[in-house]
Chains A and B, each alone.
Chain A
Amino acid sequence: MEGEERMAHTEAHAAEAHAHDHAPTAFIWKYVFSKDHKVIGIQYYVTAMLMALIAGLLAMLIRVQLAWPEVNWGIIGRLLPAGFQGGAGQPYVMNPEFYAMLFTMHGTIMVFFVLSTAPVSGFGNLLIPLQVGARDMAFPFLNGLSFWTFLCGCVTILTSFFVGAGAAAGGWTSYPPLSALRGAVPGSNTGQTFWIIAMVFFISSFTMGGLNFVTTIINMRTKGLSLFRMPLTLWSMFLVAILGLLAFPALTGASLMLLLDRHFGTSFFLPTGLVLNNAPMVGANGQFVHQGGSPLLWQHLFWFLGHPEVYILMLPALGFTSDILTTFCRKALFGYKAMVGAMLAISGLSFIVWGHHMFVSGMSPYLAMAFAVGTILIAVPSAVKVFNWLATLWRSRIQYKTPMLWGMGVVSLFISGGLSGVWLGQSAPDIQLHDTFFVVAHFHLIMAGAALFGVFGATAMWFPKMFGRLMNDTIGKWHFWLTFVTYYGTFFPMHYIGLAGHMRRIYDPYQYEFLKNLQPLNQFITVSALILGASQVLFFVNFFWSAFKGEKATENPWNANGLEWTTASPPPHGNWPGAVPEVHRWPYEYSNPDAPKDFVMQHEPPLAVESGH
């Protein structure tokens, strides 16, 4: 089959104008093992959203436990006997180990398998060739392989729920020794090994994708599309791919060493003098089994990846937002080059600030100072971005369509989550706030929230290019407002309980006298979170209904300027039936008084007054 496919491709390229005629026709090659970037993008996207459903349900269990630790779980306890104790007339109560597994898997799945995947691999694959004016990615086969590798990772991480004593429970950061000693907690056993294997699958897939992204953007741009004429979505994908290529190897290396520590008796991360379940870990010769390792080494390697990783989640949302805001303001983007510069600065700085996750590790205060200064510096490009967005919105005629609402939601979350980042970035306040719900509030607003809102906005915006239809605007707006209000309702009060000393990753906070008065607020948060979770049903209904029954979309339903809007919705195999369009300007030419209409698309020939942008 591989040979036939290749032949088909060769012919297609030889008869270039008819490239789309030679698209694979059998269902399995067209929709399942496809090498078409649009199909792969949708596959990534849908898989990630289904993973989000699972990780979201885990979050609901976490929230109920925090609000009512003594609650009788009833039917849920009966369905999941390993996670709960009780039955036979007794109420079902959640096990602490099960709670640890819940937050570990919620974090792992959300960070890697949802929010790194849906915006980057999903929309990256869908949009990059369309926006650069290419017929497909640089390496279509590698692209397909990357999706199937990713799927192996998903299956592995989901399988880990059902192995031995359950899934990993050492936090999404998997700090040793908890993650390195198989007997430490139930989740440290087979579940943790599966976690490592899933990570390796994920990283391989992301590396393949990243190579494709960088190569396509550097090499496959159509005539006239210089780097500084690229939409910011493309810039964000470009930077995200570079971040992934350079940061993820640190976790690959660390995971391999963790695997050796766990199964082959090495001591990379395991220090001398470990005591496991009240028994010193000594061998037959009376010496400690593990000697001389450094748990901090893992933290350095993990966060060298970890900090760029959170920007991998966030940057695409910033790119989508810029494209969405200009389209629905009918106004040129304010400060395009400053926006690109800001993204470059954010990406560059992300590599030298990882130590701010480790301020309480006993590092030298001078080193902490250096990391703090680097971290605070990130506020500068971030403020540039916010200023430019606000200046774009300023005195514009805003069209409040669903994508626009999400875009403005991203701006809001970016501000409110960013401000707490300035607190946490300095070592002195961080030592107080470390490991409290203040941190949970911070990263859910800025990293998780901005990324999630960005994905929803991009879905509404580029849905025509996925399925040739529009999403329902009324349901979309209901979904937005319910999500927006309950998102703040869930995560804003967490700042307060964090300041009050409520630690994160705690099974029953009310065993401490000083946290007992926080229970009503925790219950408010939980109610908010449950409504937030339930509101997502609207999204899934809208998504699947619109994909099949939605209003048919025209080529360019939003009157936007990018190259993706010059072809049919959905684009055919090969993206453009005829020649690939040439580019004559940047993508933000809105409301030019010299133009006949209020938008000038990138491929339209130069206007009489234009001396070239």
Chain B
Amino acid sequence: MATEILDARGPDRPPLLERPGGPTGPGPIRHGDDGGGPSFAFDPGQFAIWAFLGTVSMLFIGFTSAYIVRRTGADWRALPLPRLLWVNTIVLLLSSAALEVARRRRAALDLGGLRVWL
């Protein structure tokens, strides 16, 4: 966890310009070498996470549409929402917020603040 935050490229990424399969990101373009597809300069990991979020969204769209179809059934009974649900939601939101603050502390190179918020 901590290593990932300290090095945004993650432990898998070598610290140089090279990425597995050849670099594409920003950096000096070396002619004749594998220097960069210039048109898109995303971090591959970040890009893949966004693509995966698309997949997960489709999964939830599937479940949601099933829910919408199924709730029209005559036997449908709405479940009472347990209080724990709200507690969980608040805890989740708070932890997300804390993680985001920690990320900003790291960006500001405030390691003490980072440790506090983590």
Contact = CB atoms under 8 A, between A and B. Distances in A.
Contacts of B34: 16, 133-135, 222-223, 579-580
Interface string B1-34: 0000000000110111011111010000101111
Contacts, number: 153
Nearest to B76: A292
Given A134-B21, A140-B20, A246-B55, A9 B37 contact: no
A216 B73 contact: no
Chain A interface residue count: which class? 35 or more
A151 B73 CA distance: 40
Contacts of A297: 66, 69-70
Which one of B52, B55, B59 has the greatest number of beta carbons of chain A within 10 Å?
A: B55
Given A294-B73, A297-B70, A215 B20 contact: no
Interface stretch (B41-49, B80-88, B110-118): B41-49
Contact of B22 (A141, A220, A300, A301): A220
Interface stretch (A252-260, A528-536, A584-592): A252-260
Interface in A69-109: none
A246 B58 CA distance: 6
Contact of A139 (B44, B55, B73): B44
Interface string B54-66: 1110110111011
A165 interface: no
Nearest to A245: B55
B54 A138 contact: no
B31 A249 contact: no
B78 interface: no
Interface in A187-213: 207, 210-212
A272 B58 CA distance: 29
Nearest to B47: A215
A9 B34 CA distance: 17
A215 B14 contact: no
Contact of A253 (B19, B31, B35, B62): B62
B51 interface: yes
Contacts of B59: 249-250, 252-253
A137 interface: yes
A362 to B, nearest CB: 15
Given A214-B51, A249-B62, A301-B66, A136 B39 contact: no
A579 B29 CA distance: 13
B74 interface: yes
Contacts of A225: 37
A272 B73 CA distance: 10
Which one of B52, B66, B73, B74 has the greatest number of beta carbons of chain A within 10 Å?
A: B66
B44 A220 contact: yes
Contacts of A337: none
A155 interface: no
A608 interface: no
Contact of B66 (A129, A253, A292): A253
A580 B22 contact: yes
A137 B12 CA distance: 14
Given A223-B29, A223-B38, A292-B73, A250 B48 contact: no
Contacts of A133: 22, 34
A268 B18 contact: no
B54 A246 contact: yes
Contact of A249 (B15, B33, B35, B55): B55
A141 B66 contact: no
B39 A227 contact: yes
Contacts of A226: 39
Contacts of A250: 58-59, 62
Which one of A136, A223, A268 has the greatest number of beta carbons of chain B within 10 Å?
A: A223
A105 to B, nearest CB: 26
A535 to B, nearest CB: 39
A479 to B, nearest CB: 35
B66 A215 contact: no
A501 interface: no
Contacts of B15: 10
A235 B77 CA distance: 48
A190 to B, nearest CB: 25
A133 B37 CA distance: 10
Contact of B51 (A215, A272, A301): A215
A291 interface: yes
A221 B32 CA distance: 14
A10 B19 CA distance: 9
Nearest to A244: B55
Which one of A139, A218, A300 has the greatest number of beta carbons of chain B within 10 Å?
A: A218
A612 B100 CA distance: 46
A382 B58 CA distance: 27
A222 B37 contact: yes
Given A221-B37, A245-B58, 8 more contacts: A219-B40, A220-B21, A221-B39, A250-B58, A250-B59, A253-B62, A292-B76, A582-B32
Interface of A: 6, 9-10, 13-14, 16, 129, 133-141, 207, 210-212, 214-216, 218-223, 225-227, 245-250, 252-254, 257, 267-268, 272, 291-294, 297, 300-301, 304, 579-580, 582
30 contacts: A6-B11, A10-B14, A13-B14, A136-B20, A139-B48, A211-B51, A214-B48, A215-B48, A215-B51, A220-B21, A220-B22, A221-B39, A222-B37, A223-B38, A245-B52, A246-B55, A250-B58, A253-B66, A254-B62, A267-B75, A272-B75, A292-B74, A292-B75, A293-B70, A294-B69, A294-B73, A300-B69, A301-B62, A580-B33, A582-B31
